[in-house]
Amino acid sequence: MMTLFNAPEYRKPGFRLALLACLVAVIVLGMGVFTRLADAGLGCPDWPGCYGHALWPKADHEVARANEAFPDMPVEHDKTWPEMIHRYLAASLGLFTIGLLVFAVRNRSPEQPLKLPAFIFAFIILQGMFGMWTVTLKLWPQVVTAHLLGGFTTLSLLWLLTLRLNNQRWQVPAISEARLLALRKLAVLGLIIVVCQIALGGWTTSNYADIACPDFPRCQGAWLPPMDFANGFNIAQHVGPNYLGGVLDNDARVTIHVMHRFGAIVTTAYLLFLFVRLRGLGTVPASRLSVVMLLVLAAQVMLGISNIIFNFPIAVAVTHNLVGALLLLVMVTTNYCVFTAEVNRGGTKV
């Protein structure tokens, strides 16, 4: 039998710190999504401060001075605090990555991961730059999408590090070795499909196309509404002046939304196929992971439909993003398990 985490005596140093960093990354990701959905991405038009403040302007004279300095972006108190809280949470995550790197260096050994913590630290710096560009480039969709994907990537890398430090591997009977080898390619493809669907979701929200189809299962009363692929997926859009609220016309936004729905169908179909193949491996851990995959997938599909039916409430939309992140972690776990699995030549199932 295998549980989610290995016994403490078998874990590598830094496991608890990596797991805690994952939890912080989830909070950062959720706060970032909330900030975006609350239209608070430009709640602070400058960076790294907010209207020149370490937090945000509160007193009347501070607000008056801020409005004078930024006449085109007056202070809105319901938008300043989400942006700054998100920035400080992201900065705290950066401290965790530094701690993980220091821990890996101090406990350096052939068995202790070093390159991965170093890469995570470098990537969090890049992610911080994308956070800055999100503001300075006025919510340019390309940067907003990249920043969202960077958040998902950071969480995935931290979870991969946690799995490696957990130091636990599947034991697969020899009779299932051929299935295991075939499953590796299928797991990689599944990860790619989920990442592409998340990217589609990011492009949808960064272009304010989530409300382009307010009905379900049709879109604006049609099964195949007028669409504009050239503008909907034009990644060469010029920068600025301000993308708050989006600049695309209706047909372009409908195109993005419809393709996200199509991607959801493809993702669901493939993961159902992968669910069957995982169970076919014939081990308890693989069967358990397949059930987790199915439950998370079902929750994500229901949340996506609920978004439309209930007119995109922020709570449902944020949960939809977080469950999407959970689905990505399931795929990272699947790939890690099938690529590190050991074949038990004795044929014993575990």
Bridge partner residues of 173 (DSSP): 344
Cα 212 to Cα 256: distance, rounded to the nearest angstrom:
9
Q: What is the 3-state secondary structure (H, E, C) of the chain?
A: CCCCCCCHHHCCCCHHHHHHHHHHHHHHHHHHHHHHHCCCCCCCCCCCCECCECCCCCCHHHHHHHHHHCCCCCCCHHHHHHHHHHHHHHHHHHHHHHHHHHHHHHCCCCCCCCHHHHHHHHHHHHHHHHHHHHHHCCCCHHHHHHHHHHHHHHHHHHHHHHHHHHCCCCEEEHHHHHHHHHHHHHHHHHHHHHHHHHHHHHHHHHCCCCCCCCCCCCECCECCCCCCHHHHCCCCCCCCCCCCCCCCCHHHHHHHHHHHHHHHHHHHHHHHHHHHHHHCCCCHHHHHHHHHHHHHHHHHHHHHHHHHHCCCCHHHHHHHHHHHHHHHHHHHHHHHHHHHCEEECCCCCC
Distance between CA atoms of 73 and 51, rounded to whole angstroms? 10
CA 24, distance to chain mean position in Å, is 13
Tell me how far apart the terminal alpha carbons of the chain are, to the nearest angstrom. 5
Q: Which two tokens stand for residue 215?
A: 């009905």
Closest by Cα among 207, 215, 310, 319 to 261: 215
Residues with catalytic function? 83
Listed residue (234, 210, 248, 252) closest to 36, CA to CA: 210
